[in-house]
Amino acid sequence: MSTTRRIAALLVTEDWLLAAWVAIATPLLFRAQGGVGPFDAGAPLLGVLRIVAVAGALICLAARRSPADAVARGRSIITGGAAGPLVGAILLVSISGFTALDLPSGVGAFLVIAAVVVMLVVHFAAPPLATPIRRALVTPFVLVSGALFWTFIAAITGEPGSATPAAGIANSSTALAAGGFLIAFSGVFYVMLIFAPRQVADREGGMVTWLFRYALFAAGVIAGLAWPRLVGI
């Protein structure tokens, strides 16, 4: 098997879907919503997408696995260390969703309470969820998280249409430091908002696999920043 085919074999549907989402769909949504930042109000479509995605992730987090599936997949999400980063990711996306919808604090509190009730019902009353269903529930959250990162980078780099364009960095050393920070931040972001949710849904893939997945995601983000400038939209 050639090297290209070996690399392609490491990637699954979610990897290609995420790359396409941040490369094509996210720039278009960004402009359709007026170029709002990741935590700006006045983006109802993005807000709804984020809240719906959070709901799917919460259901996956609360749902039980069948005994056979749990044994086949190895350690639990607690011992695997993915639950903690996922909780932080859910809080981050929830806040961005509430802000985008400009919801009153009372409505936000009601939604949080409703989410806790739904999670309890899912955990204790619903049957165990198979791995394909868990992956389907988490995928919207992964897509929304990738879009959130793209939007953050767009605001930093002064992407056309951004509501918070950055001033050009004339000093090369400052630009290099800023680039290094963004690269380091992208790794932390990826682990917290993409790797952790997918591990909760399906514990699969080793370090090499995830490095290639991260590289594909990064390439999608870069493509999503580049092509609108090239075509002038």
| Unique residue bearing structure tokens 């109802």 | 44
Quick check: is 34 in a domain? yes
17 within a domain of the structure (yes/no): yes
Answer whether residue 124 is part of any domain: yes
Q: Which range has the worst mean pLDDT, 86-100, 147-161, 200-214?
A: 147-161
Residue 20 has pLDDT above 70, yes or no: yes
> Does residue 40 lie in a domain region?
yes
In a domain, 76, yes or no: yes
Is residue 2 in a domain? no
pLDDT digits (tens, 9 = 90+) for 147-167: 998 888 887 766 655 544 444
Is 37 domain-assigned?
Answer: yes
Band (112; pLDDT cuts 50, 70, 90): confident
Residue 4 counted as domain residue: no
**Contact indicator for 4, 209 with CB cutoff of 8 Å:** no
Domains: count for the chain = 1
Average pLDDT over every residue of 93-117: 87
pTM metric for this prediction: 0.82
Model confidence at 189: pLDDT above 80: yes
Mean pLDDT confidence for 122-143: 91
Over residues 57-79, the mean pLDDT reads 67
Pick the closest to residue 37 from 159, 166, 155 (CA basis): 155
Q: What pLDDT, on a 0 to 100 scale, did the predictor assign at position 7? A: 61
Question: Could you list the residue range(s) of the whole structural domain that residue 150 is in?
Answer: 11-231
Q: Please report which confidence band the pLDDT of residue 106 belongs to, taking 50, 70 and 90 as the band edges.
A: confident
